[in-house]
């Protein structure tokens, strides 16, 4: 027996929720399916639980930095089991609550792997569902590395689920996950190694500020090894040994836990897209047009990490794309996603943030601009919290005074970047930002000196 609905949504994360609920509210019959616990990566295995750990780590670091500057109690230490229990208060109830929310809204739910058996039909277990439309919002998974012993790698989800912190932790890769988790693990007392195959980690962020982040990370005692390509992970007795090539030679790193931090790919491999005539695009996601509609099957749309849309792989972007798809399903293809001025943050301590263009991209586009770059470790805002690795770089277009990009490293950078994002997105000029009177002393009150 086939169950017929107006819409099938594959996934239950931010993009999926942003499609399913508006369509259901408009009177459509909706079915959602997910092979993972309901709620998506951000709520369960990503941004939200990670930020809980980051918050504890920041407090520990702040307490240590301020010893002798007004704090005289013993320096705080991080209790991993207590932190893990606190983190679970944010995640444990999510799957049941999400399932209940979908059902209370009148949607059908299915738990299991979905695969296409026709242009808009999917099989889940023993059931077949046919939809007028299908939205693929299945998120992403860790990219296969193709190295020997890859099965010994722990995912970021596994790291977030640790009940106790191993003594030695190695991270394969040099992106967000590696640096954020390295900062947490190092402050938890682990011996941490980061192995990155490129000459510069955190690609996409300003190289000058990244160099400061690397210095700050090494200052925590983290062994950051660049231009180091991992070739194998070997189980040797009760430890893991990471084999890597450095160009001139081979190195080995012993660890108790090795974490995959080398990128993610769309979670669409087992959907049997060929049965629906759905083609994949750059990066392996669903090839879509400007309305996030499949180029090869107009009844199928995609949003979030599953779509080859060109948007940053961020939860707010996934939500925005989901809302875009919902509007196009309900009203016809009239809305396109706006990717201008979307900020992104690496939650190290201090955080690294960016929005808009970097110098290389601005030059490649032939833009004429002035770049203002400064180390701000001597500024009041950094000195009062004893941060020694802070800085910024801003790009302002000559003639128009348009803010092209902003790159921040320092206290509250994750919040201040939103002011610059508004300027980039809405065309607020650098002069207008400089003339703005912000509350003082705050992170935002530094903005005028950055332009």
Same domain, 258 and 272: no
Same domain, 275 and 131: yes
Q: Is 79 a domain residue?
A: no
Same domain, 365 and 388: yes
Q: Inter-axis angle of helices 176-187 and 47-65, to 10 degrees?
A: 50
Same domain, 123 and 18: yes
What is the average per-residue pLDDT within 382-396?
Answer: 97
Residue where a domain terminates, one of 287, 303, 331: 331
Same domain, 31 and 128: yes
Q: Is 71 a domain residue?
A: no
Residue 411 belongs to a domain with what CATH number? 3.30.390.30
Q: Which of 104, 118, 139 is nearest to 12 (CA)?
A: 139
What is the average per-residue pLDDT within 157-166?
Answer: 96
Residue where a domain terminates, one of 331, 356, 387: 331
Same domain, 229 and 371: no
* Helices of type H across 117-245: 156-160, 176-187, 207-219
**Is the predicted pLDDT of residue 308 greater than 90, yes or no?**
yes
Residue where a domain terminates, one of 262, 294, 314: 262
Q: Is 132 a domain residue?
A: yes
Per-residue pLDDT reduced to its tens digit, 52-105:
999 999 999 999 999 999 988 888 999 999 999 999 999 999 999 999 999 999
Q: How many domains does the chain have?
A: 3
Per-residue pLDDT reduced to its tens digit, 201-253:
999 999 999 999 999 999 999 999 999 999 999 999 999 999 999 988 899 99
Same domain, 9 and 121: yes
Q: Is 76 a domain residue?
A: no
Per-residue pLDDT reduced to its tens digit, 312-363:
999 999 999 999 999 999 999 999 999 999 999 999 999 999 999 999 999 9
pLDDT, residue 247, reads 81
What is the average per-residue pLDDT within 29-44?
Answer: 95
From the number of C-beta atoms within 10 Å of its C-beta (0-12, 13-18, 19+), residue 277 rates as middle
Q: What is the CA radius of gyration of the chain?
A: 23
Same domain, 236 and 296: no
Same domain, 109 and 210: no
What is the average per-residue pLDDT within 164-192?
Answer: 97
Q: Is 34 a domain residue?
A: yes
Same domain, 22 and 122: yes
Instruction: List the domain range (segments joined by +) for residue 311.
Output: 2-48+86-142+265-331
Q: Is 64 a domain residue?
A: no
How many Cβ atoms are within 10 Å of 338's Cβ, its own excluded? Answer: 11
Q: How far is CA 58 from the centre of its chain?
A: 19
Write out the E strands in 246-326. 250-255, 257-260, 264-266, 286-287, 300-302, 307-308
Q: Is 62 a domain residue?
A: no
Same domain, 90 and 157: no
What is the average per-residue pLDDT within 171-176?
Answer: 96
Q: Is 56 a domain residue?
A: no
Q: How far is CA 450 from the centre of its chain?
A: 26
CB 243 within 8 A of CB 231: yes
Same domain, 258 and 269: no
Residue 187 belongs to a domain with what CATH number? 3.50.50.60
CB 197 within 8 A of CB 225: no
CA distance 391 to 434: 18
pLDDT, residue 1, reads 80
């Amino acid at each position: 027996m086939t169950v017929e609905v107006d819409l099938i949504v594959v996934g239950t994360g931010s993009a999926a929720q942003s499609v399913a609920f508006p369509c259901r509210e408009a009177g459509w019959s909706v079915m959602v399916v997910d092979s993972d616990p309901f709620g998506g990566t951000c709520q369960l295995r990503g941004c939200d639980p990670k930020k809980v750990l980051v918050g504890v780590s920041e407090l520990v670091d702040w307490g240590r930095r301020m010893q002798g500057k007004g704090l005289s109690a013993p320096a705080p230490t991080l209790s991993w089991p207590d932190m893990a229990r606190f983190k679970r208060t944010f995640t444990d109830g999510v799957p049941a609550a999400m399932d209940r929310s979908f059902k209370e809204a009148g949607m059908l739910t299915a738990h299991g792997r979905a695969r296409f058996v026709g242009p808009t039909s999917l099989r889940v277990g023993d059931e077949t569902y046919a939809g007028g439309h299908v939205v693929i919002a299945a998120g992403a998974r860790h990219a296969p590395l193709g190295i020997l012993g890859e099965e010994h790698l722990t995912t970021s989800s596994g790291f977030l689920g640790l009940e106790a912190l191993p003594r030695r932790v190695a991270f394969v890769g040099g992106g967000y996950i590696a640096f954020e988790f390295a900062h947490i693990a190092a402050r938890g007392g682990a011996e941490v190694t980061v192995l990155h195959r490129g000459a510069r980690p955190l690609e996409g962020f300003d190289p000058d500020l990244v160099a400061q982040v690397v210095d700050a990370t090494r200052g925590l005692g983290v062994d950051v090894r660049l231009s180091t390509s991992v070739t194998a992970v070997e189980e040797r007795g009760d430890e893991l040994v990471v084999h890597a090539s450095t160009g001139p030679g081979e190195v080995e790193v012993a660890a108790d836990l090795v974490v995959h931090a080398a990128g993610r790919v769309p979670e669409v491999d087992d959907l049997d897209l060929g049965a629906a005539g759905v083609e994949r695009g750059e990066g392996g996601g669903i090839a879509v047009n400007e309305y996030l509609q499949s180029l090869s099957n107009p009844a199928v749309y995609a949003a979030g990490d599953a779509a080859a849309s060109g948007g940053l792989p961020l939860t707010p972007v996934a939500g925005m794309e989901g809302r875009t798809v919902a509007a196009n399903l309900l009203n016809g293809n009239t809305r396109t996603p706006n990717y201008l001025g979307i900020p992104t943050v690496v939650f190290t301590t201090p955080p690294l943030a960016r929005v808009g263009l970097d110098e290389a991209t601005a030059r490649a586009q032939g833009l004429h601009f002035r770049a203002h770059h400064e180390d701000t470790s001597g500024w009041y805002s950094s000195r009062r919290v004893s941060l020694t690795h802070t800085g910024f770089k801003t790009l302002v277009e000559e003639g128009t005074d348009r803010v092209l990009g902003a790159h921040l490293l320092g206290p509250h950078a994750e919040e201040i970047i939103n002011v610059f994002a508004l300027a980039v997105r809405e065309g607020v000029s650098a002069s207008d930002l400089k003339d703005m009177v912000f509350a003082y002393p705050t992170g935002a009150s530094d903005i005028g000196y950055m332009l």
